[in-house]
Structure formats: C-alpha cells, structure tokens
Amino acid sequence: MSLVTDFIVIGSGVAGLRASIALAEAGADVTVLTKDKARESNTEYAQGGVAVVLSEDDDAGLHEGDTLVAGAGLCDEKAVGTLVSEGTKYIKQLIDWGTEFDREGGELVFTKEAAHSRRRILHAHGDSTGAEFVRSMIARARQEKTINLLPFATTEGLIVNDGRCIGVRFRDPILRGPREIYARAVIMCTGGAGQLYQHTTNPPVATGDGMAMAYFAGAEMADMEFVQFHPTALSIEGAPRFLLSEAMRGEGGILRNNQGERFMGRYDERLELAPRDIVSRSIVAEMRRTGSRTVFLDMTALDEEFLKHRFPKIYETCAAYGLNLAKDLLPVSPASHYCMGGIRTDLHGRSTVRGLYAAGEVTCTGVHGANRLASNSLLEGLVFGARAGEAAVADNQDVEIGRSLQLPVLGSSDPVSRPAISTAVKKRVKRVMWERVGILRDKDSLTRAIAEFEQIERSSLSASSRNFVSLALLVSRAALWREESRGGHFRSDFPQQREEWRVHSIQKLRTEISSSSQIDFSRSNQLTGSV
C-alpha cells in the first residue's frame, strides 16, 4: 500500500531539517526520510563552526569576497551574495530557537579559520557545532505537528511521471520491504559522497545516493570534479579518520614534517592558513619529499586548559588513542571531506527535473565554486534549505498528488547481488578513487579509473552499488574532461589554472559531458539544458 503526503524531504541534516520547517510553517504535511537515525548526517560531524557576519568589524562584502577568492573563479556571485546576506538572518533565528553558541561574558565568541579575513566563525561546545545544530533543529522540527520524521527508511529511487518527480520508493523499516510514497514535490537533502574515497572524514551514510538518484531521474549534475580534501585527519593505523578541525590551525597549530620542521613556508606564504586545497597538496608533496605516510599537527605551544575547553571532543578522542593534545605531535594526513559539485540548482533549490528540489551538499548552487571556504557549509544548508522549502510550497500549490504503482523507479536497479559482493565493489571503488582520482590527478590515472569503473558497471549490481559506481564515474569523467588545475581539482599534467576553463562541467544521463560558460546558477525560473 502506497502513502501520500504533501512534500517529501530526503535527509535530516541541516538542509533537510530547515527545509522541513519551512514547509511545515506553510501548513504542509512533510515526511522526512533518512536512512539512519535522525541525528546521523554530515551535519552531526561538523566541528569547524559556521561562518556568519555578526561581529562589529565584519560585513557581508568581506565575507562574500573571501568566498569568491576561495572558489577560484567558479562561484556564482548572486548565490554567494544570497548566502552571506541571508545567513545572518537565519543564524539569528537559530539563536532564537535555542541554539547555544559559545559565549564569553554573555557575548558571542568569534574565531578565525583559513582564508577568512575576519574572525567570523561561531562554534558550539568548542568543536561540536554540527551536533548542536542538529539538536536544536530537531527540537524545533518536533514542535511542528505536520512533520513526520521517519528514521531507518532508506530511499531506493525517485518516481518520475511525464518529466515530473512525484514521489519516492523507500524501504519501510517496519514492513522491512519496499514501499512508495507520493507527494507534490521532493526535496533532496542527502549530503555528500565522501565515502567514495578510501580515506574520508565523512560518516558511513555519506555515500552519495541522493546525487545518483537525481542523475538517474534526469537531473543535470554540475562540477562533479571538484572534491575538497581536508588537510588534517588523524592518521593512526586501525583508527577512523577523525577530523582535526581547521580551527586548530586558526588558533595557532603548526604543521611539521617527520623531521620536526615547519614546512608550509616552502609552499605558500600564508603557511597553515592557506586554503584547504593548497594545504592538502602541500602535505602530500611533503610526505613524498620525506618518504613518510603522515605529517604532524603541533598544538604544544597552546595551554592545555585552553585546548580542553576549545576542543573538548578532539581532546577526548586523541586521548583515547594515547595522544595528549598539549604535549604530543598529532599524526595527520588529508582525507576526502566535501563535494563542491552535485545536483545543479537555482537559488531556490529547483533542479532541472520538475518537482525535484535539493539543498545542502548534495547540490551545486554555485556558492562554493571550485573550492569551499571553511565553515560555509552549515550556512549553505541553513539558507538554501529554507529557500528550497519555501519555493517548493509556492511552486506546487495547484499540483495534485497522484499515485501509480506502474511507474518506474529511477535510481534503483533490478539486479540484486549478495551483500558481500556489494561490499567488495565499494571497497574496490574507494581504493581506485583514492589512488587515481584523488588529490593529485593525471590523464593516465583517470583513464584507467574510468575503464575499471565501466567494467564494474557492466556487472550485476545491487541498487546501492550501482549508485556508488555511477557516482565514481561522474567524478572521474569530469576530472578527465577538465584539463587544468583549479580549486579542489589538481591535474599534475595541467598544473596551471586556465581562463578558457572558467566554465562549469555539466553531466546528464545519456549525454556527453558538456560545459556551461555562463557562471550563473541563480536564474529564478526553471534551469534549461547546458550551453
């Protein structure tokens, strides 16, 4: 038996929760599907904080300028302007809802991170900002009686009729089988795809299924080659790649090689506060130069009590692995962290498929360009989650909810393989992505990766494995296509940024990869095909 609701939101991170609240405030019934518990998302793991213009010495122009510089010429200025101007309003609203940002003497505490020209980063509980976002927003969502949070409900695919997304098929956690749910529109807020890589700071749920489902439903995907690698993930044999926040370098942390030398001066005059892509490549270069598998983050110049208060979760995690934040050098190396590319949307979350909206890391709004500025991700989810929810209501007031059990589900796969095979496929894809489509890329490695992924794709795969391999192909093909280095994409055979490549890569199902020279994702009407 199928279900009916006004709107479906897939994902319960900051973007999904904010979209749901916007829908409910408009009087709509909202069903929120998430494949784990409601709190489990990339938002929950965000340590670094949220960038917002609230301090007296800051203004929106400065924040916008920093974002544009980090984006390496591919940001949409209208999108960035929307982010920084509306972000202040939505952060104030979060505070009104009870979000507890760190304060001293009753005043908000602002910190500085790499590539920011001002101290504008708010934190909560030191290094648990994302968790505080989720806590306060779930509490706010539960005040809305029309929001139905459905955890452990894995979405398997989108239902599309006559070019319009009208619902989803998901795995019902109670019935333990597939079920359809229909709505006026669907908002995809499933986060990123860090799990494509062997080493990542992302949680296990960040497998990119939302991107793949939208692609199979016919949505345009933009800038998939741009993947951000966080420079400093704790690198201990047998331990998960725990993120050591950018804020640690912002507070004075120093990167040293295995000989104890501070090395960032060899690579960039901004030292440890250079943009993430530069720091990550510098670390890789230094590891190769010295023949080591890690470098070290040195926090020993800072007071231990300060470190305990400022980074409580990081302090405890390091202690669990026998490391004292104030006394020991912390072994670190880069890990995949954030996807700048994703479902192509306008400034109101509209994708190129009618009835399908998206917000947060799953999208490419043009906000981040080729490289995301630190601590802009939570703000993006907040601002564009609200905008997507509002647009979905406004656009679909007269849309009737239809049902049809005969419609194909796009983004799933008929062949079903054993779980063990799915695990083996994912393990192989993750390794190939890390070794050949990682921080340093070249034509030969990318060509070999694509050939292997295409061979895997031709075999019988489960739905999740098919999504995973298809997403790896989208990233790899875009990376091979872009013959330059820009932001998070670095080609050792094309090491320079080239003005003629100041274009967006656009990929759509059953079409060749193309480009859009129009640096503008902000059109208020439905987006059309690529130029």
Provide the terminal-to-terminal Cα distance of the chain, rounded to the nearest Å. Answer: 43
The residue annotated as part of the active site, out of 120, 249, 276, 441, is: 276
Q: How far apart, in Å, are the Cα atoms of 292 and each of 111, 249, 295, 470, 477?
A: 32, 21, 7, 33, 31
**Largest Cα–Cα separation, the chain:** 67
Residues 217, 215: Cα–Cα separation, whole Å: 5
Of 517, 513, 490, the closest CA to residue 504 belongs to 517
Q: Where are the beta strands (DSSP E) in 235-380?
A: 254-256, 295-298, 330-339, 342-344, 356-358, 363-364
Residue 275 CA to its chain's centroid (Å): 17
- Answer whether 488's CB lies under 8 Å from 206's CB: no
Residues 347, 383: Cα–Cα separation, whole Å: 10
140 is catalytic: no
Three-state DSSP state, 15: helix
Residue with tokens 């006004």: 6
Q: Rounded to the nearest 5°, which phi and psi values hold at 296?
A: -135, 140
Amino acid letter for position 251? E
In our burial notation (b when 16+ CB lie closer than 10 A, e otherwise), range 287-324 reads: beeeeeebbbbbbbebeeeebbebbeebbebbeeeebe
Structure token pair of residue 352: 């190129």
Report DSSP letters for 26-63, one per residue.
Answer: TT--EEEE-SS-TT-STGGG--S-EE-S-STT--HHHH
Three-state DSSP state, 439: coil
SS (H, E, C) 346-399: CCCCECCCECEEECHHHEECCCCCCCCCCCCHHHHHHHHHHHHHHHHHHHCCCC
Element (H, E) at 221: strand 221-222
Residues 445, 527: Cα–Cα separation, whole Å: 34
Q: Which residues are catalytic?
A: 276
